[in-house]
Amino acid sequence: MKISVNWLKEYIPVTHTVDEMANKISLTGIESAPVHNGEGLDKLVVGHITSIKPHPDSDHLNITTVDVGEDEDKQIVCGAPNVANDQYVIVALHGAHLPEGKRIKRGKIRGEESDGMICGLDEIGVPVKYVPEAYHNGIYVFPEAVTPGTDALTALGLDDDMVDMDITPNRADTLGMRGAAWEIGATYDEKPSFTDAKIDESKVKENSDLTIEVENKELVPDFMVRVLKNVTVGESPLWMQRRLWNQNIQPVNNVIDAANYTMIEYGQPIQAYDLDKLENDSITVMNAHSGDKFTVDDGTNKVLNNNDLIVKSGDEILGLAGVAGGINARVTAETKNVVLESAVFDGAVVRKAAQRHDLRGDASNRFEKGVDNGAVSDALLRATQLVDENTNADEISQEIVGSYTEAKPTVIQGKISHINHLMGLELSSDEILNILDRLGFETKLDGDDLTVTVPTRRWDMSIEADVVEEVIRIYGYENLKGTLPAGMETAGGYSPKREFSNRLRNILLGQGMDEVINFALMNKQEAADFNVINTNYTKLLHPMTEDHEVLRTSLIPGLINNVAYNQARNNNDISIFEQARIFDRKDGVDRPKEVEYIAGAVSGNIAMDSWNTTAKAVDFYNVKAIVEELLSFANLDADFDYVATDKISNLHPGQTAEIIADGQAVGFIGKLHPDYQKEHSINDTFVFELNVDTLFGMEKRNVQAQTAPKYPSVSRDLAILVGKDIESGTLVKDIFANGGKYLSEVNIFDVYQGKNIKSNHKSLGYHLEFLNPEATLTDDQVEKAFDIIKDSLVQKFNVEIR
Amino acid sequence: MSLNDKLKDLRANGIDEAKRAERIQELNDLRVNLLGKKGPITKALRGMKDVPAEERPEIGTLANNVKQDIQSAIEEKMEELNRKIVAQKLEEETIDVTLPAQPSKYGTRHILNQTIEDIEEFFIGLGYRVDAGNEVEEDHYNFERLNIPQNHPARDMQDTFYLTDELLMRTQTSAQEGRDMESHDFSKGPLKVISPGVVYRRDDDDATHSHQFHQIEGLVVDKNVSMADLKGTLEALCRHVFGAEREIRFRPSYFPFTEPSVEVDVSCFNCGGKGCRICKYTGWIEVLGAGLSHPNVLEMSGIDSTVYSGFAFGLGPERFAMLKYGVNDIRDFYLNDVRFLEQFKGVN
């Protein structure tokens, strides 16, 4: 809410600029910004039209003479339809600056001199929606005589300096000028003084015919009305109007304006109805029936449901409680008798109704954050006073109460020592009591025991911690010296699993892969593309877009999006990885397991064409090398098998392997299916994905140091011809199985298929290393082992030794 | 010619030849030819028998000197030639060091994870545990346990992706507070933990909003934790992240799960507080929210709030990284254009 300094001055002395105030209020209470209205505007004065005649050369222009407080009246040509003699108007003099850099200059309009311009409010910076309806298409006319030559901005309040307070939801007590004065006053150690509302008691009549029924008093703890009879509805006085448009409220008439003015002053929304438009002599506050139709006072139609609280008379819905008045009982120029309502409605009900019907406004904003139930009656009295002053009613009813809840101040117990302790300060009890007094709280001290009695306007306060906050913020956070917690030493650190995944990540970084972060929410198609773990999807109840609807079951779709995004921008050579969670939801449970995965994608060249190298496109084995190094650094006591599979959809059926660790599937590696690549407009791409949680759960290698061998190794080369479907991995396993304890390494150095080789066969070359760390190996020992190896291969795989 | 003169002649010629040699081979030949068993010096010394006995020692000495002098001349020249050969080799092997190397690339950690890890390591140094928590969370922990009951207006501040009525994508890493508090054994010392991770909000993605982003929650609960401790801790953090000269300030704020609550500003690292575009000419930049743990939050975890107190803070790695590196669009973090990613090589 914007706090007008002029208005604030009615309650507390103000000696600071709004800039200083905004800064100070921000540091002690509520985030605030200074507002300088009317900046850059000048030469705008009040003028009095002393004569008017039609422009001889126009059917809509008039020539006026205007007294602007100078020796001579000015002649100004005016095209507004509502211009008339004897009006007090806004005049932009020759040389005046208007908003958006507009400047007014003396000149001739169709041959007639025009020395300035008569303005509308919108032309001098008031947004049209806050300009009173009557002046929407034309000039603004002051509702009362103002001395010509007076600065028009001052007369209209448009040069008011203001402090715009951006409140947090707990500080709705400052959504009224009085509450704001308390807050700002406490900051500057100035207690505000207020004039009590007072009505003309002589007009008060004992009884009114109106009866009120509140059906659900829990949702409507306070509901009271007063009736004013035989009012004269018209325009509000200028002082009231200008304060309203400065609050971004459109002046309407002297009843509705008084109600709105009271809301700004007290923070308590007031609703006005035309008594004669009620269906009968009763008002009922109740829940709507689902399907009830309601027309808001701006003419929009709403269909209600049974969670909506409504104010009703007979079958007629007068308003949506705390949210909006209806069109039926609206106060208009013809209204003679008025009902003013002041109430407290349940915040949650109001909030939901306002959301549901898209009707959030000044009233609902206050009810949903809370209003002072100790001020409901006072605010009603004040509204009644203002309406009476504006409209000169004949008769005022007593307060008619539908529901009432006694407002009790909150009593908080605390200890001076504990308050200091929590702040990390050592303030004397006097200092603390003084601060609480500035806030208008009553205090009682008994040794260390403190009792604070908080007035109802600060309904946010309930416990000692709230007192701590009040004391420390008014004392000033800038006076607080920082310390570090002085408790027992603790050993911090990552969890073992996080240490493990950090290690895996470092290996991939070391392999030159860039790390990416993708969204966990994806579209259904993406999730279906790589549901490799074959789990149930976890879906949002109310997704915002189809793009982010389902939780991922694999990191691959995100990586593919990244490859596509980059390759579309000519970043063709991509090597990326992501380490994040996938969501694995078992049958019959709502909550998915969150499983850590690590996955990578490589596309394009891994070596570039350069002055001393030739380009090399990534292949399966480059990516396999990355995975193997990753797995070796995982330091697991397990053997890893790469098992060819054609079962993973969207991967190449001939270039994909499942990774099996001691019989347990831990991930896969493969080339994307050409169709899938085409669909996603990406080049040949290889991906891998590993389940970090599974790897982390596996037995670690138990490393016992061995002295590096002192004896030389002996090598043998083995060349064989074998059926082309037999996998090298199988052969190597067999070689190891038969090679004896001295066989230390088997490396394949040649794979050949084609010319000079039997069809359906391939030629393989292996390099075998034998090593005895204890002694020199004899040829005999090696030859024997080599023979066993060869025999087994011949027998089992029908190989030809070459 | 006397034997004496003959030897002197041989010496003069030998030294001269050595000096004129251009190749190592010539010197080796020269040595064999002049000083070898079949060489002229040996041959000349055979005429010793004709020399009177009293002159023989003198001639002998001379002959040795001649041999030595020739030997030295050869060695000297040999060294010179060797130096030339090395110099030539070096010359031939000289390369253009400005030619590009074949890349041997180390990957770049995502800037958000670099930012997170920098902060994690700072707190690990202060004795904090790192506990990442769950991304799918119960309404109970994400809201109720943080003093945000149903219909609390604060639920408006963070619209939520629900999976069921009870399950949601956590909207804040503070959701981990309840779990950390209820599982901590206070007889083993204070609870000091940070919870980094991904959170989700029902926001449209734009330059300043992302439906998925990161947070780091910090929580300390012990017998003597104060607002001053919170200030000192965050001062140290902000100096670690934004520079040793930084100051911080607290402004009152509101979070349902802390009381008192504060917003924390750091003095502008760009202008030092004088005012610039980055700090919107205020000299201060809002970087995080914090406060003392609300007694209700402590009590809900079975912690006696009259004995224990705590502080909590929450910060946004995206915001930190955007401020520190001048990233203007939060979406850049999630597009993963490698040209964007790789510019942060080694910054943390």
- Provide CB contacts within 8 A for A639, sequence distance 6+: A661, A662
Q: What is the pLDDT of residues B37-74, one digit of tens each?
A: 888 888 877 777 778 888 888 888 888 888 899 999 99
Using an 8 Å CB-CB cutoff, list chain B residues near A518: 334, 336
The CA-atom distances, in angstroms, between A688 and each of A369, A498, A555, A560 are 52, 20, 10, 12
How far B66 CA lies from chain A's nearest CA (Å)? 53
Among A399, A388, A379, CA closest to A200: A388
- Do B154 and B79 fall within a single domain? no
Give the residue carrying structure tokens 């001020």. Answer: A375
* Helical segments of A516-634, H only: 524-529, 556-568, 620-633
Which of B105, B106, B231 lies at the smallest CB-CB distance from A480? B231
Residue B102 to residue A612, Cβ atoms within 8 A: yes
Q: What pLDDT score does B153 carry?
A: 67
Q: Which two tokens stand for residue B271?
A: 């202008």
Q: What pLDDT score does A515 carry?
A: 98
Residue B292 to residue A491, Cβ atoms within 8 A: no
The type of residue at A748 is I
- A581 in contact with B, Cβ within 8 Å: yes
Say whether the peptide bond before residue B153 is cis (omega within 30 degrees of 0): no
Which of A493, A505, A544 lies at the smallest CB-CB distance from B211? A544
Which of A483, A492, A575 lies at the smallest CB-CB distance from B126? A492
- Helices B56-93 and B24-35, interaxial angle, to 10°? 170
Which of B153, B154, B233 lies at the smallest CB-CB distance from A484? B233
Per this entry, what is the length of chain B?
348
- Do B18 and B119 fall within a single domain? no
Residue A487 to residue B334, Cβ atoms within 8 A: no
Q: Which two tokens stand for residue B318?
A: 């995206």
Using an 8 Å CB-CB cutoff, list chain A residues near B250: 477, 480
Q: pLDDT confidence of B156, banded at 50, 70, 90?
A: low
Using an 8 Å CB-CB cutoff, list chain A residues near B128: 490, 492
Q: pLDDT confidence of B158, banded at 50, 70, 90?
A: low
The parent domain of residue B284 ranges over 111-342
- Do B117 and B213 fall within a single domain? yes
How far A653 CA lies from chain B's nearest CA (Å)? 29
Q: Is B348 within a domain?
A: no
- Report the alpha-carbon distance of residue A221 to residue A401 in Å, rounded: 11
Which of B129, B153, B204 lies at the smallest CB-CB distance from A368? B153
For residue B157, pLDDT over 60 is answered with no
- Do B172 and B301 fall within a single domain? yes
How far B40 CA lies from chain A's nearest CA (Å)? 53
- Do B267 and B325 fall within a single domain? yes
| Domains held by chain B: number | 2
- Do B175 and B64 fall within a single domain? no
- Do B87 and B170 fall within a single domain? no
Q: Is B102 within a domain?
A: no
The greatest distance separating any two alpha carbons of chain B, rounded to the nearest whole angstrom, comes to 134
- Report the alpha-carbon distance of residue A221 to residue A406 in Å, rounded: 9
Q: What pLDDT score does B280 carry?
A: 85
- Report the alpha-carbon distance of residue B256 to residue B157 in Å, rounded: 11
Which of A538, A544, A562 lies at the smallest CB-CB distance from B163? A538
Which of A465, A485, A518 lies at the smallest CB-CB distance from B229? A485
- Report the alpha-carbon distance of residue A624 to residue A704 in Å, rounded: 28
- Do B66 and B193 fall within a single domain? no
Do the beta carbons of residue A456 and residue A379 sit within 8 Å? no
Which A residues in the span 378-437 are in contact with B, Cβ-Cβ below 8 Å?
418, 421-425
Q: Is B347 within a domain?
A: no
How far A304 CA lies from chain B's nearest CA (Å)? 20
Nearest residue on chain B to A419, judged by CA atoms?
Answer: B226
Residue A473 to residue B252, Cβ atoms within 8 A: yes
Q: Is B100 within a domain?
A: no
- Do B80 and B147 fall within a single domain? no
Using an 8 Å CB-CB cutoff, list chain B residues near A612: 99, 102
Residue B338 to residue A472, Cβ atoms within 8 A: no
Using an 8 Å CB-CB cutoff, list chain B residues near A351: 151, 153, 156
Using an 8 Å CB-CB cutoff, list chain A residues near B295: 463-465
Which of A472, A485, A538 lies at the smallest CB-CB distance from B225? A485
How far is C-alpha B18 from the chain's CA centre? 59
Residue B100 to residue A583, Cβ atoms within 8 A: no
Q: What pLDDT score does B63 carry?
A: 84
Look up the pTM and report it: 0.88
Give the residue carrying structure tokens 């593309």. Answer: A529
Do the beta carbons of residue A469 and residue A419 sit within 8 Å? no
> b vs e for A166-203, b when ≥16 Cβ sit within 10 Å of the residue's Cβ?
ebbbbbbbbbbbbbbbbbbbbbbebebeeeebebeeeb
Among B169, B158, B85, B62, CA closest to A539: B169
> b vs e for A547-557, b when ≥16 Cβ sit within 10 Å of the residue's Cβ?
ebbbbbbbbbb
Q: What is the pLDDT of residues A129-140, one digit of tens each?
A: 999 999 998 999
Give the residue carrying structure tokens 């926001």. Answer: B203
- Report the alpha-carbon distance of residue A658 to residue A646 in Å, rounded: 10
Which A residues in the span 465-524 are in contact with B, Cβ-Cβ below 8 Å?
465-466, 468-469, 472-473, 477-478, 480-495, 498, 505, 508-521
For residue B100, with 0-12 CB atoms within 10 Å meaning exposed, 13-18 middle and 19 or more buried, which class applies? exposed
Using an 8 Å CB-CB cutoff, list chain B residues near A569: 337, 339
Q: Is B105 within a domain?
A: no
- A595 in contact with B, Cβ within 8 Å: no
- Provide CB contacts within 8 A for A537, sequence distance 6+: A524, A527, A531, A550, A551, A553, A585
- Do B22 and B145 fall within a single domain? no
- A568 in contact with B, Cβ within 8 Å: no
**Chain A, chain B: beta-carbon pairs less than 8 Å apart:** 260
DSSP 8-state code for residue A536? B
Q: Is B106 within a domain?
A: no
Do the beta carbons of residue A618 and residue A632 sit within 8 Å? no
- Report the alpha-carbon distance of residue B11 to residue B20 in Å, rounded: 14
The domain that contains B176 carries what CATH number?
3.30.930.10
Q: Is B86 within a domain?
A: yes
Last residue of a domain, one of B93, B128, B148: B93
Last residue of a domain, one of B93, B124, B143: B93
Q: What pLDDT score does A208 carry?
A: 74
Residue A542 to residue B161, Cβ atoms within 8 A: yes
Q: What pLDDT score does B229 carry?
A: 98
Residue in B98, B120, B136 to test binding to A, most A beta-carbons within 10 Å = B136
Do the beta carbons of residue A584 and residue A527 sit within 8 Å? no
Nearest residue on chain A to B165, judged by CA atoms?
Answer: A541
Q: What is the pLDDT of residues B218-237, one digit of tens each?
A: 999 999 999 999 999 999 99
In A430-513, at which residue ranges do the beta strands (DSSP E only) sit?
A: 442-446, 449-454
- Report all structural domains of chain A as residue ranges with CATH numbers, in order of start: 2-37+161-188 (3.30.56.10), 42-155 (2.40.50.140), 201-403 (3.50.40.10), 414-479 (3.30.56.10), 496-697 (3.30.930.10), 714-801 (3.30.70.380)
Residue B3: count other Cβ atoms within 10 Å of its Cβ: 19
The type of residue at A229 is K
Q: What pLDDT score does B154 carry?
A: 66
Using an 8 Å CB-CB cutoff, list chain A residues near B134: 594
Residue B106 to residue A28, Cβ atoms within 8 A: no
How far A399 CA lies from chain B's nearest CA (Å)? 31
Q: Which H helix or E strand runs over A238? A: helix A238-246
Q: Is B163 within a domain?
A: yes
Q: What pLDDT score does B51 carry?
A: 80
Among B105, B109, B128, CA closest to A511: B105
Q: What angle do CA B119, B120, B123 make, to 5 degrees?
A: 90
Q: What is the pLDDT of residues B70-123, one digit of tens each?
A: 999 999 999 999 999 999 999 999 999 999 888 888 999 999 999 999 999 999
- Do B308 and B242 fall within a single domain? yes
- A589 in contact with B, Cβ within 8 Å: no
- Do B17 and B163 fall within a single domain? no
Which of B105, B113, B306 lies at the smallest CB-CB distance from A515? B113
- Provide CB contacts within 8 A for A766, sequence distance 6+: A717, A718, A719, A720, A731, A732, A735, A746, A747, A748, A749
Q: What pLDDT score does A708 carry?
A: 87
Q: What pLDDT score does B45 carry?
A: 77
- Report the alpha-carbon distance of residue A646 to residue B325 in Å, rounded: 46
Low-confidence ranges of chain A (pLDDT < 70): none
